[in-house]
Structure 1
Amino acid sequence: MDKISVLGLLIGVVAIVGGQMLEGGHVASLAQPTALLIVFGGTMGAVMLQSPYATFVRGIKMVRWVWLPPAVDYVQVIKQITAWSQVSRREGLLSLENAMSQLKDDFSRKGLQLLVDGAEPERLREVMEVAIDTYEKELKLSARIWEAAGGYSPTIGILGAVLGLIHVMENLSDPSRLGAGIAVAFVATIYGVGLANLVFLPMSNKLKAHINRLVVQREMIVDGLVGIANGDNPRIIESRLKGYIF
């Protein structure tokens, strides 16, 4: 569980609601299901319109990364690659074929297969970097649906406010209801701006940070495999990979 994400969202919501109460307002006045439906539904509709189906679905599934980040263990990667380099140095590249059956990661298995097949170091790097670029682009494209949601949400909120004001104008015959009606109308704007700046945009940036970590992990794997292919000393490979860790 990513505690800072939970804490950040909680602090943001509490600050807004608490500020409303300190100003003498009522929390109930911010609870407007109609405004929420307009803003959230309109925003999701716009995002779906701009996104391919696979990208949208992947972006929805990636939301869990905000609170449950994908597993990234740089130290374990270094240990694993160092072990491969030691085995390769003692027994030859073909001995690494046994390690492939133990790998659950398709990317690592692909790289190790190329290494065992005797691919030239530069060719191995070229093939694996193409895979990394594709992987990164697909994930970032999916993460950007939340960035897009953060762009659409405030505008949809204004649209909701205008719809509310239209409803108010239709009831000008009852002046006693105008103040409350206008207040309710502007709740849609609060939802639009709030969702954009407290939820959608921060989520997008958090997902991009996790994607960068995943990409670095794959770059470490490629760097290590190329080092093995070049016949570098295991200690040199280990030292170079440690440079990826701050």
Structure 2
Amino acid sequence: MDPAFIIGLVLAFGALLAMISIEGAHVTALLLPAPMVLVFGATIAVGIASSTMKDALLAVKALPKVVRGKSPSLTATIDDVVGYAERARREGLLSLENDANEASDPFVKSGLQNIADGTDAEDLRIMLEDEISTTASRNRIAARFFSLMGGFAPTIGIIGTVVSLTHVLERLDTPETLGPLIATAFVATLWGLLSANFIWLPIGMRLARLGELEVERKTLLMEGLLAVQAGSQPRLVDERLRALVADGPSRKERDSSSDITSSQAA
């Protein structure tokens, strides 16, 4: 799990609480049910209204990824593909069926199984590209849903403030109550801005970034699996994939480093 989202939210709300404490205010002054119900309820409602129910459900299903999502290790992915290339060179493409049965990633499983089945290289590329395109589209929909909510929330907060100020104007005959009422009115604007910048926009941007990383990994896997199917040497597969990502040393460099360390230890 990548803790960036949790760490960021804790620091953001911690900074807010620190400011409230320094100003000598009280958190309870901000925890007013009426503006919170309006801002959160109406924001979610207009978010659904601006898309489709299918999009909304897809966005809700993507929420666990915000917390549990992690950055894929492209180095480990390349090592796996090189392992498939080595097996294919030793035992033939049919041997990859065993790796397909053991693979937990559906994308890898499908690719290896089609290679073992003798699927044409062009057909395999089209199938894998379609899968990548579908993944990218699904990720964009979820990220866009929360980004839209981040755009709606501040305006809804202003609406709540206007409604509250209308109520304040009805109390002009009691000037002693105007101060607290006006302060309460601006809480809606605060929650609109707060929810947009502390919750909805970070969720949308994080989902977008995780989606980019997922597409990058699948694209790398596609190129590697196609190279395996073409019978490329494992060393060439390794160097080609690492040239695409530049994410750490090649296997050859790591082996050389290990040999140097061993000789120094001896």
- Give the shorter-chain TM-score range: over 0.9
Cα RMSD after superposing both structures: 1.8
* Correspondence for 1:22: 22
* Correspondence for 1:113: 113
- Assess if the C-alpha contact under 8 Å between 1:224 and 1:241 holds in 2: yes
* Correspondence for 2:96: 96
Deviation at 1:121, TM superposition (A): 2.6
TM-score normalised by structure 1 residue count: 0.92
Total equivalences in the alignment = 246
In 1, the alpha carbon distance for the partners of 2:65 and 2:214 equals 12
Range that drifts further, 140-149 or 23-32: 23-32
Deviation at 1:142, TM superposition (A): 1.1
Distance 1:78 1:2, change over 3 A: closer
Q: Give CA-to-partner distance per residue, 1:141-162, whole Å, 9 cap, x none.
A: 1121110110000011001111
Q: Give CA-to-partner distance per residue, 1:25-74, whole Å, 9 cap, x none.
A: 33222121111100000000011112222321221232232322147232
In 1, the alpha carbon distance for the partners of 2:219 and 2:16 equals 42
The 3-state SS of whatever aligns with 1:232 is: coil
- Assess if the C-alpha contact under 8 Å between 1:122 and 1:226 holds in 2: no
- Identical pairs, percent: 33
In 2, the alpha carbon distance for the partners of 1:73 and 1:4 equals 16
- Assess if the C-alpha contact under 8 Å between 1:154 and 1:196 holds in 2: yes
The 3-state SS of whatever aligns with 1:231 is: coil
* Correspondence for 1:84: 84
Aligned 1:1-246 pairs, distance under 5 A: 1-70=1-70, 72-243=72-243, 244-246=245-247
Deviation at 1:236, TM superposition (A): 0.7
In 2, the alpha carbon distance for the partners of 1:71 and 1:2 equals 7
Deviation at 1:218, TM superposition (A): 0.8
Kindly provide the amino acid, as one letter, of the partner of residue 201 in structure 1.
Answer: L
Gap runs ≥5 in structure 1:
none
In 1, the alpha carbon distance for the partners of 2:18 and 2:98 equals 60
- Assess if the C-alpha contact under 8 Å between 2:2 and 2:70 holds in 1: no
Q: Give CA-to-partner distance per residue, 1:68-99, whole Å, 9 cap, x none.
A: 21472323322221121112112221221222
In 2, the alpha carbon distance for the partners of 1:149 and 1:62 equals 15
The 3-state SS of whatever aligns with 1:101 is: helix
Q: Give CA-to-partner distance per residue, 1:135-192, whole Å, 9 cap, x none.
A: 1111211121110110000011001111111121222221111111011010000000
In 2, the alpha carbon distance for the partners of 1:99 and 1:10 equals 42
- Assess if the C-alpha contact under 8 Å between 1:56 and 1:145 holds in 2: yes
In 2, the alpha carbon distance for the partners of 1:120 and 1:47 equals 44
In 2, the alpha carbon distance for the partners of 1:14 and 1:228 equals 50
The 3-state SS of whatever aligns with 1:171 is: coil
In 1, the alpha carbon distance for the partners of 2:26 and 2:76 equals 52
- Assess if the C-alpha contact under 8 Å between 2:66 and 2:203 holds in 1: yes
In 2, the alpha carbon distance for the partners of 1:239 and 1:37 equals 55
In 1, the alpha carbon distance for the partners of 2:17 and 2:103 equals 49
* Correspondence for 2:263: none
